[in-house]
Amino acid sequence: EADIYQTPRYLVIGTGKKITLECSQTMGHDKMYWYQQDPGMELHLIHYSYGVNSTEKGDLSSESTVSRIRTEHFPLTLESARPSHTSQYLCASSEGTSGEEKLFFGSGTQLSVL
């Protein structure tokens, strides 16, 4: 049902590296999101977008950036990775923001910063 893809699935990198997590969806959804989730903890909103050329900050946005040049693509960039960035990153999309407009999630990127 859900066609939303994240790459890489796993990533291990050193401190200070710049990384980009990729997310693409083929459902034509306008709204897209990035969440961070630590084991056993709630999802925290990092960034979201209402559509092309729209990007908004969530609760944990200060150390990352996003872009939305095409409807289907919503990459997340960490300019300088730190061990505190070690976490699971989940990309999601939704058709809208009303009614039963549920989130569709990608499989996630598990990031480890050494």
Partner 1 sequence: GQNIDQPTEMTATEGAIVQINCTYQTSGFNGLFWYQQHAGEAPTFLSYNVLDGLEEKGRFSSFLSRSKGYSYLLLKELQMKDSASYLCAVRDQDYGQNFVFGPGTRLSVLP
Radius of gyration of the chain (CA): 13
Least CB distance to partner 1 at residue 69 (A): 21
Q: Which residues pair with 12 in a beta bridge?
A: 112
Q: Is residue 90 involved in binding partner 1 (CB under 8 A)?
A: yes
Q: Is residue 51 involved in binding partner 1 (CB under 8 A)?
A: no
Give how far Cα 73 sits from Cα of 42, 64, 94, 108, Å. Answer: 25, 16, 13, 15
Q: Is residue 42 involved in binding partner 1 (CB under 8 A)?
A: yes
Specify the pairing of strand 64-66 against strand 76-78.
Answer: antiparallel
Least CB distance to partner 1 at residue 68 (A): 15
Q: Is residue 43 involved in binding partner 1 (CB under 8 A)?
A: yes
Site residues for partner 1 per CB under 8 A: 2, 33, 35, 40-45, 48, 56, 58, 90, 97-100, 102-108
